[in-house]
Structure 1
Amino acid sequence: MEQRNRIHPAEQQRRLWRGFAGVLATRIVQVKPRDVDSYDVVERSNLFLDTYFLPLQDN
């Protein structure tokens, strides 16, 4: 019996998300839950978006 090359569903999801991130020219970082350092990274990212992109919407 011939065995088919199947991709594990988790690997398939990873490939889809990597492709999506590539289209956006960004990267996806998964951080540990309840980690203080990761909270700071998220807050800095949000501050960056608020500072540089949201003021453009006021026009």
Structure 2
Amino acid sequence: MDLNYLFHRHQVSMMMAAAARGSEARMAHVQLAGRYARQIASAQAGMGADRTFVAA
């Protein structure tokens, strides 16, 4: 998967969480951002990135 796409979707999810009016919507966006973060970390690890520098 394209890392730029994943970084973009993660950022959009975080912005949506910040703008959410309710706690349920906010939590849903934060959880989605977390899934993107795990996909980013997995992709980076698959490319040989040092885990020290991989953000979770």
Q: How high is the TM-score relative to the length of structure 1?
A: 0.41
> Is the helix fraction higher in 1 or 2?
2
TM-score (norm 2): 0.43
Q: Which has the higher relative contact order, 1 or 2, with Cα contacts under 8 A spaced 6 or more apart? A: 2
